[in-house]
Amino acid sequence: MSAELQDLYQEVILDHNRRPRNFRVIEDGSSAEGFNPLCGDRITVYLKVENGTIKDVSFQGAGCAISKASASLMTESVKGKTVEEATALFERFQRMITGSGDSPTESLGKLTVLAGVRQFPVRVKCATLAWHTLRSAVAAPGGVVSTE
């Protein structure tokens, strides 16, 4: 097995794929749907924001290990953050997995396990689908985002 593969499919990612965290519906919040028409991956992100702070966030859907683990890790990372902080985190995350800029991984916490995605450009959309959907759930609840 190549080093890049080991890097991509780290134990943490496989664990989040097998046992996704916050994999549930939030009844009294907002939500948005995201899908990748190229591969058929679908995700719904649920969100509860109070006074600009993300009180609760969860997701449901079907997808590859990368998209599922990324969604799971995202929910853990943004819970308790303000919407602005979550947006800034998404931007740093995107820089990390596309390999652009200085990739300040130190401020990304456990999201750094997804850094291996940068070796697999065709999988970047899998890793960002949940984040785009989260952004839509904040900005335009009930909306549908597509990677294409």
Partner 1 sequence: MASVVSAHRVALDAAAVRRDFPILRQRIHGKPLVYLDNAATTQKPQAVLDAVDHYYVEENANVHRGVHSLSGRATDSYEAARETVRRFLNAADANEIVFVRGTTEAINLVAQTYGRAHVRADDEIVITEMEHHSNIVPWQILCEEKGARLRVVPVTDAGELRLDEYERLLNERTKIVAVSHVSNVLGTINPIAEIVRLAQPRGIKVVVDGAQAVAHTPVDVQALGCDFYAFSGHKIFGPTGVGVLYGRKALLESMPVYQGGGGMIGRVTFERTTFADLPYKFEAGTPHIAGAIGLAAALDYLTAIGVERVASYEETLLSYATGALSEVPGLRLTGTAPAKASVLSFVLGDVHPHDVGTILDREGVAVRAGHHCCQPLMARLGVPATARASLALYNTREDVDALVAALRTVQEVFG
Residues 138, 90: contact at Cβ < 8 Å?
A: no
Strands (E), 37-101: 41-50, 53-62
- Residue 33 pairs in a beta bridge with 44, 144
41 touches partner 1 (CB under 8 A): yes
Answer for which of 24, 25, 52, 62 binds partner 1 (CB under 8 A) is: 62
Residue with smaller CB distance to partner 1, 7 or 85: 7
Question: Which range in 23-31, 61-69, 91-99, 128-136 contacts partner 1 by CB under 8 A?
Answer: 61-69
Answer for which of 22, 44, 63, 131 binds partner 1 (CB under 8 A) is: 63
123 touches partner 1 (CB under 8 A): yes
Name residues whose C-beta falls within 8 Å of residue 101's C-beta, 6 or more positions apart in sequence. Answer: 95
Residue given tokens 């602005």 in the structure block: 84
Residue given tokens 């600009």 in the structure block: 52
Question: Which range in 21-29, 32-40, 46-54, 94-102 contacts partner 1 by CB under 8 A?
Answer: 32-40
Question: Which range in 3-11, 52-60, 80-88, 93-101 contacts partner 1 by CB under 8 A?
Answer: 3-11
Exposed, middle or buried: residue 6 (CB in 10 Å: 0-12, 13-18, 19+)?
exposed
Answer for which of 26, 39, 83, 124 binds partner 1 (CB under 8 A) is: 39
Residue with smaller CB distance to partner 1, 37 or 80: 37
User: What 3-state DSSP class applies to 128?
Assistant: helix
97/45 Cα distance (integer angstroms): 21
Binding site for partner 1 (CB under 8 A): 1-2, 4-5, 8-9, 14, 38-42, 62-66, 120, 122-123, 126
